[in-house]
Amino acid sequence: MTRQSVRECITRTGIVPAFRLSSFEDTVFGVETVAESGIPIAEVTLTTPGALEVIAHLACSKPELIVGAGTVLDLETARRCLDAGAKFLSSPGLDLDIVDFAVKHDIAVLPGALTPSEIMAAAKAGADLIKVYPCSLMGGPVYIRTLRAPFRGLALIAAGGVTQQTAPEFILAGATALGVGRDLVNPEAVRRRMPDWIRELTGRFLEIIAEARSRGSA
């Protein structure tokens, strides 16, 4: 799977589920269930126990999925994620060394950025999509709309505090995609192994994005 195909799939799907669960087994179950429900993308945060093992397992057993690493904070960790088979690297803030590493190794990179200066630096460094985090604390959809004016050509992911209620407004404000955690990947649904609950949440978010995009293009 190429860097470009990863970028295109995230853009087309419009959502990057973030998995912050309590075990290897929970995370594998959650990723596979969300994928079966229509979102073949997973950001496995490195705060998850056994995160690198999860990434390696899924890269081998489900190569068709786009499984990336989240909360990548340094270059050495980025190398380990690449070795494990991660298809993208994501971080909560902007580390230009990580972006440069990803570009050189032809792996998609989604750095966090909050200010206009950070967004400009991330774009100049070659970021595939830029994660505006935590956007909810900066005004939510209003902040995305404000950023979209000068950065019309950039792919921005709204992340941090995105819910079912705010998701359509973020899309209408110009977000290319949404980064969503427990509002999509409900830890209790995973713990209790309730796939129907997860499917319902997944389907709901996909419908929200499709409807908002339809309204935006009308």
Residue ranges covered by each domain of the chain: 3-217
What six digits make up the tokens of 4? 């470009």
Mean pLDDT, residues 86-92: 98
CB atoms within 10 A of CB 207: 11
Task: Answer whether residue 101 shows pLDDT above 80.
Answer: yes
Task: Answer whether residue 218 shows pLDDT above 70.
Answer: no
Order across the sheet with 66-70: list the strands. Answer: 108-110, 88-90, 66-70, 41-45, 15-19, 177-180, 156-159, 130-132, 112-113
pLDDT band at 1 (very low <50, low <70, confident <90, very high): confident
What six digits make up the tokens of 131? 């994660």
156 vs 10: CA distance, rounded Å:
11
pLDDT band at 103 (very low <50, low <70, confident <90, very high): very high
Helix (H, G, I), strand (E, B) or coil at 206: helix
Q: Please, what is the average pLDDT of the chain?
A: 96
* Helix axis angle, 96-104 to 116-125, nearest 10°: 20
Q: CATH classification of 3-217, choosing from 1.10.8.590, 3.90.180.10, 3.20.20.70, 3.40.50.450?
A: 3.20.20.70
The contacts of residue 110 (CB under 8 Å, 6+ apart) are 10, 16, 68, 88, 89, 90, 91, 127, 128, 129, 130, 131, 157
Task: Answer whether residue 216 shows pLDDT above 80.
Answer: no
Please tell me what DSSP assigns to residue 19: E
- β-pair type (156-159, 41-45): unpaired
98 vs 78: CA distance, rounded Å:
7
pLDDT score at 201 = 96
173 vs 124: CA distance, rounded Å:
23
Residue labelled with tokens 């505006």? 132
